[in-house]
Amino acid sequence: MLIDTHCHLSKDDYENVDEIIKNMDGYMITAGSDDKSNLEVIELVNKYDNVFGVLGIHPESVTEYSEESIQFIERNLDNPKIVGIGEVGLDYYWDKTHIAEQKELFIKQIEIANKRNLPVVIHSRDATLDTIEIINKYPNTKFIFHCYSASLEIAKELVKRGVKLGIGGVVTFKNSIKLKEVVKGINLEDLLLETDSPYLTPEPYRGKKNKPANILLVAQKIAELKDIPVDKVIEVTGKNAIAQFDLNIPL
């Protein structure tokens, strides 16, 4: 089962979101990042059987969100197609001036997830150690490390405690030596496929806008790196996604 566990399906990025969804032979989890995208997530999950969603306030939106933003998320967790909180976390690449606020927002959203027993999709950029320090305080929470980019050593520690690693188009890039080591060194059972569409388009389409259907290119690269059939990658990562997000999909 091909499942793109992380994409951003937005009218701002695609002329025709419906066509992008129709071209994906599989399931997608579209992620919110602010008020506008969270609303779009709700619209899409209500419209399409094969689209699930996660809701959250991205660290880049830390100065923009309001109490109503949080209430909107909490209210919509009653929707059975909303399967987690995300993407949330820490980003010190774009903004180092609101680190305390980013941490506070991240923790607030983990606690919302915990009330419902939902998984949390993490965005972490230039903030690996602080991210790990926070998630270590929540040993019972199911985490997904979206677009994993840290070392194999750290990956081994994370998967030991049940964190799943999202692997996307970056693994197809020539210079992604560290990520290829991670894919080779971590069991397939701990990996999830993702595109992060419209970003991070895999080779050979790098430079073009990404779409969930490109998830197959990620699966093929993982199969090549692990020297296993691509069907095995699709089957196992599909099961991983169903388990981690508790997706209601007939197997």
Residue 175: Cβ within 10 Å count: 8
User: Minimum CB separation from Ni ion for residue 146, in Å?
Assistant: 6
User: Minimum CB separation from Ni ion for residue 58, in Å?
Assistant: 8
Our CB check for Ni ion shows the closer of 86 and 238 to be: 86
Closest CB to Ni ion belongs to which residue? 196
d(CA 146, CA 128): 12
Amino acid 188 reads L
Which H or E element spans position 123? strand 120-125
Our CB check for Ni ion shows the closer of 139 and 212 to be: 212
d(CA 13, CA 199): 10
Our CB check for Ni ion shows the closer of 40 and 196 to be: 196
Question: Which residue stretch of 129-137, 167-175, 188-196, 228-236 sits at the interface with Ni ion (rule: CB under 5 A)?
Answer: 188-196
d(CA 66, CA 88): 15
Which H or E element spans position 164? strand 164-167
Binding residues among 191-210 for Ni ion as defined by CB under 5 A = 196
Our CB check for Ni ion shows the closer of 34 and 203 to be: 34
User: Minimum CB separation from Ni ion for residue 32, in Å?
Assistant: 10
Amino acid 86 reads G
**Is 91 a residue that touches Ni ion (CB under 5 A)?**
no
CA nearest neighbour of 166 among 77, 246, 241: 241
User: Minimum CB separation from Ni ion for residue 199, in Å?
Assistant: 7
Q: Which residues bind Ni ion (CB under 5 A)?
A: 196
